[in-house]
Amino acid sequence: MSFGSQDTYCPFLWEEVYIDPKGDVFACCHRKPGRIGNIQNGKLKDIYNNSIMQQLRQDSLDGTLLCYERCTILDKESKAPRKTTFNYYSDLKKLKIEFGELCNINCVMCWQDHKSRTVLDHKIVIENVDLGPFDSVDIQGGEPLAMPEAKAFYEYAASQNKRPFFMTNGLLINDEWAEKIVVGSAAIYISLNAATAQTHEIVNRGSKWDIVMRNIKRLQDARRRRGTAFKITGHMTIVLENIQEVALFICHFQELGFDQIGFGYDQKVPEYLKTQPFLKIALKRDVIKALRTVQDPSLVDLKRLKMLEFV
C-alpha cells in the first residue's frame, strides 16, 4: 500500500458515520469528505463499503484527502495505522444523525436555517440503519427536543440500550424528558455558551438563563431519584461575544450544575486573535489560572482550547 508524502489519515472513514436531514451519508458531521450515499435508498451497511467510500479511504491513505488540512476535529498527532480500504460494518464505533435544523432559538454563531421543516423520518432510520456495532449514538439538530422525529428515534435507540446522547439548548427539558434522559443516556450536553446570564442571552438569542438553570436542576433531581451515573456536560462555543468569559466558565462550571465541560469555537475567533496578540496573551493567562482552580483537570476538555493556544 502506497502512502503520499503528506499524512492525511482520517479514522472517521473507518469508524464513524454521519447522516444529514435528507438521509445523505458522510464520514464527518462537516459533510466531509463527500456524499457516500443515502439511507432513503438503501441500507447503511451496503453504503458503508461502496466504491465511493473505498476511494475516499484510499485518498486518506495516499496522503491526498482534500479536507484534511483545514480540519479542526481530528487529532493530527496520531499516526496512521496500516489499513485496507475495505472495513467491516461491525467495526464502526460512532453514529451521528442530524434530524433537522429546526430550533427554538437563534444563536449568533449558528448558520442553520432554524425555520426549515426538512426533518429525517425516524422510521426510515430504524429500517435502514442497524445500530448493532455502534457504541456511540449522537442525535443532532437544530434542537432535538423541538423535533418529534428526533425524540422518537431517541426513545428507540434508548430501548436498544445504545445510550444515545445529544446537545440541547436546555429550554425544553420538562419533567418527563428529564426522567427519560437520565435513564436512557450516559450524558447530555447543554449548550450554555456563557458564564453569566447577560452573555448567555446575547449569544443564545431567544433563550432565558433562568429557564435553562431550572432545567439543569431538573436533570440533577431526576438523576438523584434514579441513582444513575448520568453526566451533565456544559458546552461553550467560543465566539467574539463571550470570549472574555472562557476562564469564568472554567472557574464556575460546577456551580452552574455541570459535571464536566467542553469547548468549541467559531471560525472568526482564531482570525480575530491574530489581530489582538495582547488579548490572546491575557486570555491564555486567565485560562491557565482558572484551570488551577479545578480539582480534577480531566473534567475540562482542553482540545479546542489547545487549538486556540490558550493552554
Q: Kindly give the pairing relationship between strand 165-168 and strand 136-140.
A: parallel
Q: Nearest 5 degrees, angle CA 260-CA 261-CA 266? A: 170
State the average pLDDT over residues 217-240.
97
Q: Average pLDDT of 283-291?
A: 98
Q: How confident is the model at residue 253 (pLDDT cuts 50, 70, 90)?
A: very high
Alpha-carbon dihedral angle through residues 104, 108, 113, 119, given to the nearest 10 degrees: -50
| Angle of the 175-184 helix axis to the 209-226 helix axis, nearest 10 | 50
pLDDT (tens digit per residue) in 89-98: 999 999 999 9
Residue pLDDT, tens place only, 144-200: 999 999 999 999 999 999 999 999 999 999 999 999 999 999 999 999 999 999 999
Query: With bands split at pLDDT 50, 70 and 90, how would you rate the model's confidence at 111?
Result: confident
Tell me the mean pLDDT in the region 58-87.
Answer: 83
**In the prediction, which pLDDT does 75 show?**
77
- Burial label, 255 (beta-carbon count in 10 A; 0-12, 13-18, 19+): exposed
Asked if pLDDT for residue 247 goes beyond 90, the answer is yes
Q: pLDDT category, 78, cuts 50, 70, 90?
A: low
Is 50 exceeded by the pLDDT of residue 4? no
CB environment 49-76: b (16+ within 10 A), e (fewer): beeebbebbbbbbebebebbeebeeeee
pLDDT of residue 270: 95
Report pLDDT for 274.
96
The answer, yes or no, to whether residue 292 has pLDDT greater than 60, is yes
CA separation for the pair 165, 231 (Å, rounded): 11
Model pLDDT, residue 3: 41
Q: Is the pLDDT of residue 87 over 60?
A: yes
Compute the mean pLDDT over every residue in the chain, rounded to the nearest whole number: 94
pLDDT at 80: 65
Residue 1 has pLDDT above 70, yes or no: no
| Per-residue model confidence as pLDDT tens digits over 114-150 | 888 889 999 999 999 999 999 999 999 999 999 999 9
User: Model confidence at 113, in pLDDT bands (50, 70, 90)?
Assistant: confident
